[in-house]
Amino acid sequence: MARTLAAYRNFFWAGLRKRGQTGGLVPSQRFLIAKMIGPVPASYRGQIVELGAGSGAITLRLAARCPRARILACEINPTLARDGQDLLTRAGHNGRVEVVTASAEHLLSEMRCGGREKPDFVLSGIPLGNLSGEKTRALLDAISQTLAEGGMYIQFQHSLLDRKKIKARFPNTRTVPVFLNFPPAVVYYAQR
């Protein structure tokens, strides 16, 4: 499903204006998306959470790959969240994909307190390097507490700067570089 020019423009401006919230200037490209959603089985029927969903590039492919899964996509920027919801609606995924405009910490706290099903997969595009050390630790703690036992946290970054912080919360972590993305990225696969 094609993205609108307005959605690309909105993402670009969000990347320039809100570097602490938006990790890039363009949405993730297909090679990075493939690495992000690759570990999730196409037959998966449970809950998946995506943090920092942006305008829905990964969410859209994840919904197409896993037609039986329930996806909760969280984006703090209301404009990008609306663009993501529009993209998913046009693609016909609006029934089982919920887009929430909230901070990741707030959403994860609500999930734990609200009795929601623990996700087996948490995918994140949140730019950890743009957050304070305290916020990064709090977010990683919240992800660890929310993720189901044996679940997988999948995070992409554009550097290895937060590798130690991720490994401190998730000792069983491996990284894979994705050079065919702008900018190049690293995907962290962290098992709980």
For the domain made up of 5-191, the CATH class stated in words is alpha beta
Whole-number CA gyration radius for the chain: 15
Residue 12 has pLDDT above 70, yes or no: no
How far apart are alpha carbons 97 and 40 in whole angstroms?
A: 16
Domain boundaries, the chain: 5-191
Beta strands in 38-151 (DSSP E): 47-51, 70-75, 97-101, 121-124
Two structure tokens written together for 159: 């550097």
Q: What's the pTM value of the predicted model, to 2 decimals?
A: 0.86
Give ∠ CA 102-11-1 in degrees, rounded to 5: 95
Model confidence at 78, pLDDT cuts 50, 70, 90, reads confident
Residue 13 has pLDDT above 90, yes or no: no
Residue in the structure block whose two tokens are 């197409």:
64
Which pLDDT tens digit goes with each residue over 91-113?
A: 777 678 888 888 888 888 888 77
Task: Please give the average per-residue pLDDT across 66-83, as a whole number.
Answer: 88
Task: Please give the average per-residue pLDDT across 24-45, as a whole number.
Answer: 85
Model confidence at 6, pLDDT cuts 50, 70, 90, reads low
